[in-house]
């Protein structure tokens, strides 16, 4: 696991560099797309590179991490809508190239199985962008999630619903209780994981992710088993890392030819 501690704008540029490098060598790459606040600067940077430098997503595919259950199709916080707004509509993905789990399906379990199959049919995710919840979730794999789980229905913790109430005008009751999420096993099947975390409220989750014992109590810790995981954090989110000095030194000494 590589940990980079840097200012937020630099983190976004590093993540965008990784996506750009991938698309240049593999235009038909499969990208894993997170929602929430953490990836927004990355999406801004990718949209900028598309507009100004011609970075193309025309042959690429995108798979969302998760979706709320039951939010109407026209709801502004439905993740399908958010991904469309924040990235898909700003670059040149082909129509239908970005998919998400169907939180409005009549048979939610079947929708999860269909989604797993779609990811597999696409050849798996090449680069997965991730955020982390204050309770250590990735995707919406809340504490107690099976470390081998695949896409399924989950119940959100009160903590996550409180954290996300800001997207619903601060109204906790408006935040759905249920979601469909790629499982930890699904996420671990991606070839490169790039997780972004900023702010002091993420410091404990980041400490557990990087330095804690691997445990379903902090689901993101499963990333310690991934062969290519990159954790991009600002000073505040790195605030509890015991190895912060080592990570800073390692990044300062990183050879110019070595990418994340």
Q: 75 near 84, Cβ under 8 Å?
A: no
CA dist 105 and 44 (Å) reads 31
Is 137 one of the annotated active-site residues of the chain? yes
Piece in contact with ligand F6R (CB under 6 A), picked from 44-52, 98-106, 129-137, 230-238:
129-137
Is 177 one of the annotated active-site residues of the chain? no
Q: 35 has which bridge partners?
A: none
Is 126 one of the annotated active-site residues of the chain? no
Is 50 one of the annotated active-site residues of the chain? no
Residue (36 or 103) nearer to ligand F6R, CB: 36
Q: Is 11 helix (H, G, I), strand (E, B) or coil?
A: helix
Residue 66 engages ligand F6R in binding (rule: CB under 6 A): yes
Q: 195 has which bridge partners?
A: 130, 231
127, 129, 133, 136 alpha-carbon torsion, rounded to 10°: 20
- Rounded to a whole number, what is the largest CA-CA distance in the chain? 53
Least Å distance between CB 52 and ligand F6R?
Answer: 26
CA 212 distance to own-chain centroid: 20
Per CB under 6 A, the list member of 133, 136, 183, 219 interacting with ligand F6R is 133
Residue (40 or 214) nearer to ligand F6R, CB: 40
Catalytic residue among 45, 86, 102, 137: 137
Piece in contact with ligand F6R (CB under 6 A), picked from 19-27, 111-119, 125-133, 249-257:
125-133
Under rule CB under 6 A, which residues in 135-174 are in contact with ligand F6R? 137-140
The count of residues interacting with ligand F6R (CB under 6 A) is: 14
Residue 208 engages ligand F6R in binding (rule: CB under 6 A): no
Per CB under 6 A, the list member of 62, 100, 103, 131 interacting with ligand F6R is 131
* Of the candidates 97, 107, 185, 105, the residue with the CA atom closest to the CA atom of residue 141: 185
Sign of the Cα torsion 221, 139, 251, 244 reads negative
Q: Is 254 helix (H, G, I), strand (E, B) or coil?
A: coil
Under rule CB under 6 A, which residues in 19-58 are in contact with ligand F6R? 34-38
Q: 166 near 232, Cβ under 8 Å?
A: no
* Helix, strand, coil distribution of the chain in percent, nearest 5: 40, 15, 45
Residue 219 engages ligand F6R in binding (rule: CB under 6 A): no
Per CB under 6 A, the list member of 15, 23, 65, 232 interacting with ligand F6R is 65
Least Å distance between CB 243 and ligand F6R?
Answer: 23
CA dist 192 and 32 (Å) reads 10
Catalytic residue among 8, 45, 66, 234: 66
Positions annotated as catalytic residues are 66, 135, 137, 142
The contact set with ligand F6R (CB under 6 A) reads 34-38, 65-66, 131-133, 137-140
């Amino acid at each position: 696991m590589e940990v980079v501690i840097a200012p937020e704008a630099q983190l976004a540029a590093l993540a965008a560099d990784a996506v750009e490098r991938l698309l240049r060598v593999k235009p038909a790459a499969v990208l894993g797309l997170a929602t929430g606040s953490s990836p927004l600067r990355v999406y801004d940077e990718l949209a900028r590179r598309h507009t100004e430098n011609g970075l193309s997503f025309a042959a690429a595919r995108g798979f969302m991490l998760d979706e709320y259950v039951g939010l109407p199709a026209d709801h502004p916080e439905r993740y399908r809508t958010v991904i469309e707004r924040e990235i898909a509509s700003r670059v040149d993905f082909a129509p239908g190239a970005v998919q998400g789990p169907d939180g409005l399906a009549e048979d939610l379990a079947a929708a999860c199985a269909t989604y797993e199959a779609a990811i597999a049919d696409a050849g798996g995710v090449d680069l997965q962008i991730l955020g982390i919840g204050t309770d250590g979730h990735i995707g919406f794999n809340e504490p107690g999630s099976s470390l081998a789980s695949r896409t399924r229905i989950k119940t959100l913790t009160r903590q996550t619903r409180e954290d996300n109430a800001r997207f619903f005008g601060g109204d906790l009751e408006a935040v759905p209780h249920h979601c469909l999420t790629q499982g930890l096993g699904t996420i671990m099947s991606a070839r490169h994981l790039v997780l972004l975390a900023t702010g002091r409220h993420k410091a404990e989750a980041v400490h557990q992710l990087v330095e804690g014992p691997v445990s379903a109590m902090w689901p993101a810790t499963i990333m310690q088993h991934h062969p290519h995981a990159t954790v991009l954090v600002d000073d505040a989110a790195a605030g509890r890392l015991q190895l912060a000095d080592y990570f800073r030194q390692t990044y300062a000494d990183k050879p110019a030819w070595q990418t994340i």
